[in-house]
Amino acid sequence: MRVSSLSWRLWRALRNPPEEQAIYRRTLGVAHSVTLFSLCRFRESNRILAGILSLFFLPIVAFAGPALFFFLVFNSTVYGVFWAASISVRITTERLGATYDLLCLTPAGTLGTNWAISTASIYRNETFKRLNVIVRGLVIAALFVATIVTLIFVLILIADAEDRPANELRVLSLAPVYVYAFIAAFYIDHVQSVVLSALIGMLTPYYVQNTSDAQLWAAGSFLVLQISTYLVTIFTGLIVLPALYAGRTGWLIDSSIPVLSLLVFYTLREGYLRIVWSRLIRRMDIRVHPDENWQSS
């Protein structure tokens, strides 16, 4: 059975890197050229872009505080910034060194070569493997706790529903829906963030002339798409859906808000991924479907 979602198809490919490819092993042996310090060393021509990004993100971080910091760190956003920049710098370096075209002539082809460089950059130093274990552990633990708490809520509702105020019953019945929706969003975001960082890292070198521009534009593009997804989802859940449901109440209506917000979150990010993927394929001037087994060429 084929996976129709681009997110999950590329995630499966990412989980099974082309370890036998010489290009993959070659990239693994190259030291990281992107660090926090290097990302902050903007060239003169990049200061305007850096200023715009700062104005966009700093207020968000200031208002959201520790909760946003925790969410961004453990859902791969922070790591995704470095992966996108690292992949972009690595491919740009190959282009400047006149080795890129030669690598693309290998049996892996253009897409396979870029994918090998991309996955090797992500797997270098075992960072991705450790992060994935942490995220999966958090999700499993959260699901376990949420299930236990949900069972307790159900027992409470069955035992003394008649003696509890309607508002309290409403909160008890809706809380599990919101918790499960958040857990699902957390894992989906982890998956899509890593995939998005890989695609942006491969696409950016087609638009830049040097490694400095490559790391800044890759990191900036990734952050813009990430944060815009969060903002649209929050706006939908807190403003749009309540406005649409104005005057109407009921458990199904209330519980649909987190579910529809999750759907918006997933669909918007999936749309971003498909746009980046289609642009990447077009710039490579190749015809390939994500369901094809191109990554193991």
- pLDDT at residue number 45: 44
What is the C-alpha separation between 215 and 86, in angstroms, rounded? 7
Cβ–Cβ under 8 Å, residues 14 and 87: no
pLDDT (mean) for 166-182: 77
pLDDT (mean) for 142-163: 78
Burial, 24: exposed, middle or buried (Cβ in 10 Å; 0-12, 13-18, 19+)? buried
What is the C-alpha separation between 16 and 121, in angstroms, rounded? 14
Cβ–Cβ under 8 Å, residues 201 and 55: no
pLDDT by residue (tens digit) across 189-232?
999 999 999 999 999 999 998 988 899 899 999 999 998 999 99
Whether 227 is covered by a domain: the verdict is yes
Residue from 57, 94, 73, 46 nearest 216 by CA: 46
Whether 241 is covered by a domain: the verdict is yes
Whether 38 is covered by a domain: the verdict is no
Cβ–Cβ under 8 Å, residues 91 and 36: no
- Number of domains, the chain: 1
Whether 168 is covered by a domain: the verdict is yes
Q: Domain residues for 115?
A: 6-30+47-296
- pLDDT at residue number 76: 74
Q: What is the pTM of this model?
A: 0.82
Cβ–Cβ under 8 Å, residues 139 and 184: no
Whether 39 is covered by a domain: the verdict is no
- pLDDT at residue number 233: 93
